[in-house]
């Protein structure tokens, strides 16, 4: 007997999910420079967390709000034993 599993629904991405650096910085409570540093450090991956507005090296960068927030949460999450002190 084979087991049928439901297909995972695809993530629906709307244009409102992609924001410029100033807007996303305001929402995530970080500076535009910090966003740039995190991008260069690899915390935010191209095509996942950020993309160019147009296919040009001088084009402004747009960030995906929910994915960036998730990456920040994951990067700053700590297990309980790391928070306890002796």
**pLDDT of 4-29, one tens digit each?**
555 555 566 676 789 999 999 999 99
Ordered by where they begin, the domains of the chain are: 17-77 (1.10.1660.60)
pTM: 0.72
Mean pLDDT value across the chain: 83
pLDDT of residue 81: 60
pLDDT in tens, 48-75: 999 999 989 899 999 999 999 999 998 8
Residue-wise burial string across 10-46, b where 16 or more C-beta atoms lie within 10 A, e elsewhere? eeeeeeeebbebeebbeebebeeeebeebbeeebbee
């Amino acid at each position: 007997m084979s087991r049928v599993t439901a297909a995972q629904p695809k993530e629906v991405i709307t244009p409102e999910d992609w924001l410029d650096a100033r807007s996303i910085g305001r929402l995530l409570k970080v500076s535009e420079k910090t966003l740039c540093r995190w991008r260069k450090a690899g915390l935010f991956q191209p095509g996942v967390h950020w993309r160019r507005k147009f296919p040009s090296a001088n084009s402004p960068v747009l960030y995906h709000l929910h994915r960036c927030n998730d990456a920040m949460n994951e990067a700053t999450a700590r297990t309980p034993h790391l928070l306890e002190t002796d």
